[in-house]
Structure 1
Amino acid sequence: MKSKKAILLPRFQKMLEQMGENIKLARKRRKFSTIQVSERAGINRTTLYQIEKGNPSVALGSYFNVLRVLNLEEDFLKLAADDEFGRKLQDLELMGKSKK
Structure 2
Amino acid sequence: MAKRTPPTRPFHARRIEALGQRLRTARLARGMTQSHLAERVGVDRTTIGKLESGDPATSLSTVLRVLSALGLDHDIDQIAATDPVGTQLAASQLKRPSSRPAARSQSAGSISQHATQPHSVAEPPPDRYALRASQKPPPMGGGPVPTPRSRGAR
TM-score by length of 2: 0.57
* Bigger RCO (CA 8 Å, 6+ sep): 1
1:13 alignment counterpart: 13
Q: Which residue of 1 aligns with 2:113?
A: none
After superposing the two structures, state which structure 1 stretch, 75-84 or 17-26, moved more.
Answer: 75-84
Runs of at least 4 residues off by over 6 Å:
none
Partner of 1:22: 22
**CA gap 1:34/1:98 in 2 versus in 1, 3 angstroms:** farther
Question: Following superposition of structure 1 onto structure 2, how do residues 1-100 of structure 1 map, counting pairs within 5 Å?
Answer: 1-94=1-94, 97=96, 100=119
Structure 1 residue 76, shift from structure 2 partner: 2.2
More helix by share: 1
Unmatched segments (≥5 aa) in structure 2: 99-118, 120-154
The structure that has the greater radius of gyration is 2
Instruction: Give me the identity figure in percent.
Output: 28
| Number of residue pairs the alignment of both structures matches | 99
Aligned-pair distance for 1:34? 1.2
Supply the distance in 2 between the matched residues of 1:6 and 1:25 (Cα, whole angstroms): 27
* Unaligned segments of structure 1, at least 5 residues: none
Aligned-CA RMSD value: 1.9
